[in-house]
Structure 1
Amino acid sequence: MKLEKEAKKNWDLFYKRNTTNFFKDRHWTTREFEELRACREFEDQKLVLLEAGCGVGNCIFPLIEEDLHIFVYACDFSPRAVEFVKKNPLYHPERCCAFQCDLTKDNLTENVPEGSVDVVTLIFVLSAVHPDKMKLALENISKVLKPGGVVLFRDYGLYDHAMLRFKSASKLGDNFYVRQDGTRSYFFSKEFLAKLFEEAGFQSVVNEYVLRETVNKKEGLCVARVFLQSKFIKPANLQTGSGLLSYKSSKEGKQED
């Protein structure tokens, strides 16, 4: 209960310590998620995206640089992270709208028009939410997503190296752990994730483990990484012609997290 109450403070302190230097920019997003290109009916069509849990903008700014026909709503639990987004030289209100939001209780429609978003990205975000509140976050996201819109998901998978490093004293519940700084992380199975999204009203399109290896040449270490990469659609009247159901699994190695 203490960790839940102090979750916002702990993430804010994380960004105070690390500023914009902890995560690397995610230039792999459009290669991994073809929908960011394929869901347009014509080349110059504006794509409206919600980056739920944007951090300091490591995902959104590469997208904004690469794609002139995209508008991004970006929200994060941490007010400090949102301020870093707004101070980025690439941040312009005509291309991006950043705001602070607790996905489990703050109504997204206060900042994003209902049913206006084509694509939602949930990249290493839902794992930081208490399992009991994950469904609330997904139902909140569903309010702003268009019928036929898609959620692109990537997060920690069961038995990832980060999970195996935790000591027993760090365990809060099944597959749920706390780090030394008070931030928490859940590790997903395919079955748990599929059931979670289906209970929130989504249909599963793709739900796969992605296996990678992280090599530390300096220390001579090679560790196994396990991620879950998935795509879920908000049901519409069988309108699949927009390309939202297309999928391409990239085999290239990329920076993760």
Structure 2
Amino acid sequence: MAQVNDCDGSGGSSAPQFPHQYTENSERVLSEDEHQKLKNDQVLVSDFKQNKLEMEAQKNWDLFYKRNSTKFFKDRHWTTREFEELRACREFETQKLVMLEAGCGVGNCIFPLLEDDLNLFIYACDFSPRAVEFVKENSLYCPERSLAFQCDLTKDDLRATISEESLDVATLIFVLSAIHPDKMQQALENIYKVLKPEGIVLFRDYGLYDHAMLRFKSGSKLGDNFYVRQDGTRSFFFSREYLASLFHQAGFQTVVNEYVLRETVNKKEGLCVPRVFLQSKFSKPQ
């Protein structure tokens, strides 16, 4: 499958339109053809190749940013609209909100927040050293208000950079899906350690049966709901139940956990395709 901008449907020169959006507790219902396609696609990538993909995961993401630099994704100006926790810091000017953007990429989430001059300090980490350098080279990067650093969430202890139980908010926006399912738990436990009691994780990522999942060709499947793109980067598609189980095992409590269903209309290509995301909030107990 060719690499396309399917992380949030907001990138590219002919960006799709979103005329319909609603939340749903149940997963998307497949058509008979879609159901048959997934049923027939049972051949998994060999163990040898899977191990190679895991070993080269950082290199593949670094090459992704080398090819695309800062031009692949559009800035995510929608985060303060979707997550009121990021708006709340405007109301408490004497109390700075401390935030972690886990998997920051080139800063498409953090720079709109910094540009809005919100009363916050942002830690920003990414698996790719090249992505972190792009963040630091951005004219909006300000060491007094942000700290970008390279980190593998599955093995590097965040407490080496961030004080234990010091964060008010952590964001995981189209990040957990890129991590091998066997290692997702470690990433969440890592974030748990640096969150304050009652701190919150804001989550948005691919939902089960999203159109991107159905686009993968035979030979791309790594496991249940887990696929590899042509460039070697990987993507997992979450059910509500699976996601909640991951967070609960890491010690979190569910605040919100809903599917976001959209119809993406691309007028240029005459297509209308179903997009499925999970938008969720999980808190660290008092």
With normalisation by structure 2, the TM-score equals: 0.81
* Aligned counterpart, 2:212: 162
Contact 2:100 2:124 (8 Å CA) reproduced: yes
Counterpart CA distance in 2 for 1:188 and 1:149 is: 23
Contact 1:57 1:85 (8 Å CA) reproduced: yes
CA deviation vs aligned residue, 1:99-120 (integer Å, no higher than 9, x gap): 0000000000111111111000
Aligned mate of 1:171, from 221, 227, 244 = 221
Report sequence identity in percent.
82
Counterpart CA distance in 1 for 2:92 and 2:70 is: 35
* Aligned counterpart, 1:18: 68
Contact 1:117 1:144 (8 Å CA) reproduced: yes
1:139 aligns with 2:189: yes
With normalisation by structure 1, the TM-score equals: 0.90
1:9 aligns with 2:59: yes
65-74 vs 76-85, greater mean Cα deviation: 65-74
AA matched with 1:173? G
* Aligned counterpart, 2:244: 194
Aligned mate of 1:75, from 117, 120, 125 = 125
AA matched with 1:160? D
* Aligned counterpart, 2:135: 85
Contact 1:40 1:47 (8 Å CA) reproduced: no
Contact 2:89 2:120 (8 Å CA) reproduced: no
Larger C-alpha radius of gyration, 1 or 2? 2
Residue correspondence of structure 1 range 92-171 to structure 2 within 5 A: 92-171=142-221
Contact 2:90 2:118 (8 Å CA) reproduced: no
* Pair 1:36–1:68, CA change in 2 (3 A): closer
1:28 aligns with 2:78: yes
Counterpart CA distance in 2 for 1:41 and 1:116 is: 20
AA matched with 1:91? Y
AA matched with 2:68? N
User: After the TM superposition, which segments of 4 or more aligned residues of structure 1 sit over 6 Å from their partners?
Assistant: none
* Structure 1 gap ranges (5+): 237-257
Counterpart CA distance in 2 for 1:218 and 1:106 is: 44
Structure with more contact order per residue of length (Cα contacts < 8 Å, sep ≥ 6): 2
State the number of aligned residues: 236
Over aligned residues, Cα RMSD in angstroms?
1.1
SS, match of residue 280 in structure 2: strand
Q: Cα distance, 1:44 vs. partner?
A: 3.7
* Structure 2 gap ranges (5+): 1-50
